[in-house]
């Protein structure tokens, strides 16, 4: 075989190998994204409310609990967010907020309008009162719900709240990697998100507000939970309209002192979304609020799951909704106790 022949044969072999590898990658991506699209296409329903159509899912039975997801979420993440947060005996209602999955974008996308939509959904489901859990950007409409419809909120739980802070606003972490991911989000690039997950997960971990070193030091179970959150953003194209709404919030000071519901606020010092100042401001402003701050854990509170569950159980125990964590099994009961006193806890 001549030199040119050998070169040609080698080049052909390389091209074939590239084509085969590309085919394997595309097949793997297609399988994963098809599963993600199928998952969000099933398991939820659309409620026709006075605020328009709202997609939501339910799980369990008992005391109503409204689970409001954060940026990049939907009804599926709403269910996941509280799956280990409370025990059995709760009827979890998890809506998709404006622009997420099957909930359309109305003319008014403000947190106040979203709160009214939450109220409309509860009314459609004939629910008079609910425990309200707002995570990250979902805390904005949770706060508005407690202000605008106080009789519908029996307890308020704000986890890493993306709410107002007077001097240090919540923001996306400012590394180049996060800027690149933010660009991906705005293009709704499903394949790019999936590829980054496979080859550079630490970039997405940081974009989700968690220092990668915290995840590296975590247990295998917590590491898998973080990766599950990353995968739960897929399909990104079904969520990025809502992410765009959350990325440009019109945050301003609210009369938090008027919130009557017993309140728990949770954050971490190393949250790369900088929710700690907002958490401190909310807890200081809301009467009878309890603030819990962890030194590490990031925006996903990595490694703090059991502690957060205890804090939630204690709050609901003081409201008479659940037995406190120190009293054995966490059994939901009907509210009949006074609100807890103001307090602050650090771990």
Which whole number is the average pLDDT over 310-319?
A: 90
In a domain, 205, yes or no: no
In a domain, 62, yes or no: yes
Answer whether residue 5 shows pLDDT above 80: no
How does pLDDT run across 215-251, given as a tens digit for each residue? 999 999 999 999 999 999 999 989 989 998 998 777 8
Which whole number is the average pLDDT over 258-265?
A: 97
Return the higher-pLDDT residue of 280 and 85. Answer: 280
Domains of the chain: total: 1
Return the higher-pLDDT residue of 261 and 332. Answer: 261
Q: What CATH number did the domain enclosing 312 receive?
A: 3.40.50.1820
Q: Of 163, 149, 128, which is closest to residue 254 (Cα–Cα)?
A: 163
Instruction: Give the pLDDT of residue 89.
Output: 86
Return the higher-pLDDT residue of 50 and 8. Answer: 50
Which whole number is the average pLDDT over 93-110?
A: 97
Exposure string over 29-54, b if 16+ CB within 10 A, otherwise e: eeebbeebeeebeeebeebebebeeb
In a domain, 68, yes or no: yes
In a domain, 37, yes or no: no
Instruction: Give the pLDDT of residue 85.
Output: 87
In a domain, 167, yes or no: yes
Which whole number is the average pLDDT over 167-190?
A: 66
How does pLDDT run across 148-161, given as a tens digit for each residue? 999 999 999 999 99
Distances in Å between the alpha carbon of 18 and those of 22, 24, 30, 133, 258?
A: 6, 10, 18, 48, 63
Return the higher-pLDDT residue of 54 and 15. Answer: 54
Instruction: Give the pLDDT of residue 342.
Output: 38
In a domain, 32, yes or no: no
Mean pLDDT lowest for which of 60-69, 140-149, 295-304, 325-334? Answer: 325-334
In a domain, 219, yes or no: no
In a domain, 38, yes or no: no
Average pLDDT, the chain: 85
* Domain with 320 in it: 45-171+246-346
Question: What does the alpha-carbon distance between residue 85 and residue 88 come to, in Å, rounded to a whole number?
Answer: 10
Instruction: Give the pLDDT of residue 329.
Output: 44
Instruction: Give the pLDDT of residue 71.
Output: 92
pLDDT grade for 40, boundaries at 50, 70 and 90: confident
pLDDT grade for 328, boundaries at 50, 70 and 90: very low
Answer whether residue 327 shows pLDDT above 70: no
| Tokens, residue 155 | 């307890």
Return the higher-pLDDT residue of 230 and 325. Answer: 230
Contact 142, 156 (CB under 8 A): yes
Return the higher-pLDDT residue of 347 and 227. Answer: 227
């Amino acid at each position: 075989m001549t030199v040119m022949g050998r070169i040609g044969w080698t080049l052909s072999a390389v091209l074939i190998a590239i084509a085969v590898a590309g085919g394997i990658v595309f097949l793997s991506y297609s399988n994963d994204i098809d599963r993600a699209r199928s998952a969000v296409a099933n398991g939820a329903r659309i409620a026709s409310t006075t605020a328009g159509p709202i997609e939501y899912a339910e799980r369990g039975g008992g005391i109503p609990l409204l689970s409001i997801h954060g940026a990049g979420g939907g009804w599926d993440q709403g269910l996941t967010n509280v799956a280990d947060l409370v025990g059995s005996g709760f009827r979890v209602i998890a809506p998709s907020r404006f622009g997420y999955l099957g909930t359309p974008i109305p003319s008014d996308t403000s947190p106040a309008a979203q709160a009214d939509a939450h109220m409309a959904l509860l009314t459609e489901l004939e629910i008079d009162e609910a425990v309200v859990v707002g995570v990250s950007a979902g805390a904005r409409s949770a706060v508005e719900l407690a202000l605008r419809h106080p009789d519908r909120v029996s307890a308020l739980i704000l986890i890493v709240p993306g709410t107002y802070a007077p001097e240090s606003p919540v923001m996306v972490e400012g590394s180049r990697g996060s800027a690149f991911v933010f660009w991906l989000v705005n293009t709704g690039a499903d394949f790019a998100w999936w590829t980054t997950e496979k080859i550079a997960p630490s970039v997405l971990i940081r974009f989700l507000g968690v220092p990668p070193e915290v995840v590296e030091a975590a247990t295998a179970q917590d590491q898998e939970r973080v990766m599950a959150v990353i995968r739960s953003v897929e399909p990104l194209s079904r969520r990025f309209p809502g992410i765009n709404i959350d990325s440009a919030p019109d945050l301003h000071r609210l009369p938090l002192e008027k919130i009557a519901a017993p309140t728990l606020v949770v954050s971490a010092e190393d949250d790369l979304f900088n929710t700690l100042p907002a958490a401190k401001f909310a807890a200081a402003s809301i009467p009878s609020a309890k603030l819990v701050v962890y030194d590490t854990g990031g925006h996903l509170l990595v490694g703090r799951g059991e502690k957060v569950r205890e804090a939630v159980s204690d709050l609901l125990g003081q409201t008479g909704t659940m037995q406190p964590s120190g009293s054995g099994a966490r059994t939901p009961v009907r509210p009949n106790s006074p609100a807890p006193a103001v307090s602050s806890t650090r771990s």
